Chains A and B, each alone.
Chain A
Amino acid sequence: MNDKLSQLYQQVLLDHNKTPRNYRVLDPADFEALGHNPLCGDKYKIFMNIDENNIVTDVTFIGDGCAISKASASMMTTFVKGKHIDEIEKLFHQFHDMAQGKLDPENDPNDLGRLKIFYGVRNLPARVKCATLCWHTLHAALKGKEKVTTE
């Protein structure tokens, strides 16, 4: 297969797209935010609960969009669960830099682990936003600092 193609759409990504993990509403949720890319119509809602030590106890999402945005959201939820919210802040910046090609996950220090597969989008400027949409959404939810509770 085409190199760039196989690098971008790795099997893990395709698998998360087809069977997204943590794909459900979390009710009640401490944090909740809507991520929308009006340009392509990608729309996701992210829900998150944390405990008294600011450790993520649960994180889920719902919504629709392209394979890259959906797989990214799915993998993000599996990755941040159990982590401290300060770590999430760090990961957000690392992921963002990687997607834009400013961070090379193989050679620069980072904690991105299996999220490295999204390094492929750096070659495709039109798709960078797809990969980072869920991270921006999660980040916005945390930055809001206000706990959003669903009725």
Chain B
Amino acid sequence: MADSSVSIKSSAALEAAGTIDIERCRDDFPVLRREVHGKPLAFLDNAASSQMPEPVMRAYTEYHSRYHANVHRGVHLLSQEATEAMEGARETLRGLINARSSKEVIFTSGATDAINLVMQSWGRTNVGEGDEILISTMEHHSNIVPWRMLCDEKGAVLKVIPVSDDGVLDMKAFADMLTDRTRLVGIVHVSNTLGTINPVAEITRIAHQHGVPVLVDGAQAVSHMKVDVQQIDCDFFVTSGHKMYGPTGIGILYGKQELLEKMPPWRGGGDMILSVSFDEVLYNELPYKFEAGTPNISGAIGMGKAAEYIMSVGYNAIHKKEQELLRYATEQLQTIEGLRIIGTAPEKSSVVSFVIDGVHPHDIGTVLDLEGVAVRTGHHCTQPLMDRLGIVATTRASMAMYNRREEIDQLVAGLRKTIEMFR
């Protein structure tokens, strides 16, 4: 590491080493101080995008104000600093998910992009006519559509693991659905609609008994719980920066090195090559083989910073606080007559989806918005799950580590007001 960028790294190290008191972390998120429609903001839409703390914004600004330059190609100082900061972020993210090597951490534009990379590169090479891809009923559209596209292209079959009425994956059915034609299992780690935490390590163990690789969609996992890809033993893991207190437009694909080595590049261009002639191209090594073109440098730095922020608060503290918020929200919401919680799995992250008799989720969402409460309403990009549960939409409150009980009280008061209006 060059002297000049010591400041970048040392402030990072400082925060990673120190701890941030979770009760005070709220102060790091300036947006939480704002008002909407004349009311204090209660931001309960963290599963869509969580807010960014100041250290992330500072890292972002610092890149733009001090060393904005292209990476991996400059001899000048700014480019070296940018490269070091971006590779430092990769290393931080490697540590966050405990990958063996930072070669296994590929920057993408998000979880969706990462799944598409696997589909385009691994999928198009390894899936043929009559083969099967196994996903679950509770997948986000981003872990359905790419596989539907691949199956249509290859004449392969998309099979779907059922879920119970309370939103638990049917593990028995899963084991029975693995056949000698199964080429991949794609499973969401934490459901964005239900909050269900799936037993991904167990799923991987069973799939591996059949020699089937597993892709885990961890978009909703990383901000809430320690993810250890070696312990899960999954073959691919994807996540997005903006769902873990980082910026939008950035995410990662983790893949086991031996798999990534064998996969052909998907996008071609600069950075992903060692040498180019018109007759032949020599591809770069991992992870660059999959990172054609100038990457989202500031996004990568921001995402790395967000990972440091999470680690400095600590997953133990996060888990404790969020589970306490989940319990409180569940309790309080259940006091509302005619309200039914959708997704009551025993293992849940801090997400509560619900429907209320006689009031459409969109009207709930609008009234809550005008009361200062931000929630998500709709199908949450899980239409097949909605169909399975026989509903068109839910209202979803999703809590982050910085939320407070008062915000849940504000939600409940808003709901009572809504019901009164529509009764």
Residues of A whose CB lies within 8 Å of any CB of B are 2, 4-5, 8-9, 14, 17-18, 39-41, 64-68, 124, 126-127, 130
7 more contacts with CB within 8 A, not counting A40-B392, A41-B393, A124-B369, are A2-B370, A8-B366, A9-B367, A18-B422, A40-B393, A66-B361, A67-B422
Asked whether any CB of chain A lies closer than 8 Å to the CB of B360, the reply is yes
Which of A4, A41, A130 gathers most chain B CB within 10 Å? Answer: A41
Q: How far is it, in angstroms, between the C-alpha of A21 and the C-alpha of B391 when the chains are bound?
A: 24
Could you tell me if B370 and A40 are in contact, using CB atoms closer than 8 angstroms? no
A78 to chain B, nearest CB (A): 21
Q: How far is it, in angstroms, between the C-alpha of A18 and the C-alpha of B421 when the chains are bound?
A: 11
Q: Pick the residue among B365, B370, B386 that contacts A5 (CB under 8 A).
A: B370
Q: How far is it, in angstroms, between the C-alpha of A67 and the C-alpha of B37 when the chains are bound?
A: 21
Asked whether any CB of chain A lies closer than 8 Å to the CB of B320, the reply is no
**Cβ of A127: which chain B residues have Cβ within 8 Å of it?**
362, 366
**Cβ of B386: which chain A residues have Cβ within 8 Å of it?**
41
Which of A14, A66, A130 gathers most chain B CB within 10 Å? Answer: A66
Could you tell me if A14 and B37 are in contact, using CB atoms closer than 8 angstroms? no
B167 to chain A, nearest CB (A): 19
**Cβ of A18: which chain B residues have Cβ within 8 Å of it?**
422
A2 nearest CB neighbor, chain B only: B370
Asked whether any CB of chain A lies closer than 8 Å to the CB of B139, the reply is no
Q: How far is it, in angstroms, between the C-alpha of A4 and the C-alpha of B37 when the chains are bound?
A: 9
Q: How far is it, in angstroms, between the C-alpha of A2 and the C-alpha of B37 when the chains are bound?
A: 9
Could you tell me if B371 and A66 are in contact, using CB atoms closer than 8 angstroms? no
A70 nearest CB neighbor, chain B only: B360
Asked whether any CB of chain A lies closer than 8 Å to the CB of B295, the reply is no
Q: A2-B371, A9-B421 are in contact. Are A40 and B37 (CB under 8 A)?
A: no
A3 to chain B, nearest CB (A): 9
Q: List 14 A-B contacts (CB under 8 A).
A: A2-B37, A2-B370, A4-B370, A5-B421, A9-B363, A9-B367, A40-B392, A40-B393, A41-B379, A41-B386, A41-B393, A66-B362, A67-B422, A127-B362
Q: A2-B371, A5-B370, A17-B422 are in contact. Are A39 and B360 (CB under 8 A)?
A: no
Asked whether any CB of chain A lies closer than 8 Å to the CB of B378, the reply is yes
Could you tell me if B378 and A40 are in contact, using CB atoms closer than 8 angstroms? yes
Could you tell me if A5 and B367 are in contact, using CB atoms closer than 8 angstroms? yes
**Cβ of B393: which chain A residues have Cβ within 8 Å of it?**
40-41
Could you tell me if B362 and A14 are in contact, using CB atoms closer than 8 angstroms? no
Q: How far is it, in angstroms, between the C-alpha of A68 and the C-alpha of B362 when the chains are bound?
A: 9
Residues of chain B from 166 to 196 with CB closer than 8 A to chain A in the complex? none
A88 to chain B, nearest CB (A): 26
B347 to chain A, nearest CB (A): 28
Q: How far is it, in angstroms, between the C-alpha of A5 and the C-alpha of B365 when the chains are bound?
A: 12
Which of A9, A64, A130 gathers most chain B CB within 10 Å? Answer: A9
Could you tell me if B360 and A66 are in contact, using CB atoms closer than 8 angstroms? yes
B192 to chain A, nearest CB (A): 17
**Cβ of B361: which chain A residues have Cβ within 8 Å of it?**
66
Could you tell me if A41 and B392 are in contact, using CB atoms closer than 8 angstroms? yes
A6 nearest CB neighbor, chain B only: B421
B393 nearest CB neighbor, chain A only: A41
A37 nearest CB neighbor, chain B only: B362
A112 to chain B, nearest CB (A): 22
**Cβ of A66: which chain B residues have Cβ within 8 Å of it?**
360-363
Q: How far is it, in angstroms, between the C-alpha of A9 and the C-alpha of B359 when the chains are bound?
A: 13
Q: How far is it, in angstroms, between the C-alpha of A64 and the C-alpha of B371 when the chains are bound?
A: 25
A37 to chain B, nearest CB (A): 10
Q: How far is it, in angstroms, between the C-alpha of A5 and the C-alpha of B392 when the chains are bound?
A: 24
B423 nearest CB neighbor, chain A only: A18
B372 nearest CB neighbor, chain A only: A2
**Cβ of A39: which chain B residues have Cβ within 8 Å of it?**
378
B245 to chain A, nearest CB (A): 25
Contact with A along B358-397 (1 / 0, CB 8 A): 0111110111011100000111000000100000110000
B358 nearest CB neighbor, chain A only: A18
Q: How far is it, in angstroms, between the C-alpha of A8 and the C-alpha of B421 when the chains are bound?
A: 12
B359 to chain A, nearest CB (A): 8
B39 nearest CB neighbor, chain A only: A2
Q: Pick the residue among A4, A41, A64, A68 that contacts B363 (CB under 8 A).
A: A68
Could you tell me if B422 and A14 are in contact, using CB atoms closer than 8 angstroms? yes
Q: How far is it, in angstroms, between the C-alpha of A9 and the C-alpha of B366 when the chains are bound?
A: 10
**Cβ of B421: which chain A residues have Cβ within 8 Å of it?**
5, 9, 14
Could you tell me if B370 and A67 are in contact, using CB atoms closer than 8 angstroms? no
Q: A14-B421, A17-B422, A41-B393 are in contact. Are A67 and B378 (CB under 8 A)?
A: no
**Cβ of A124: which chain B residues have Cβ within 8 Å of it?**
366, 369
Residues of chain B from 188 to 243 with CB closer than 8 A to chain A in the complex? none
B35 to chain A, nearest CB (A): 13
A132 to chain B, nearest CB (A): 14
Q: How far is it, in angstroms, between the C-alpha of A42 and the C-alpha of B254 when the chains are bound?
A: 38
Which of A8, A40, A68, A130 gathers most chain B CB within 10 Å? Answer: A40
**Cβ of B365: which chain A residues have Cβ within 8 Å of it?**
126
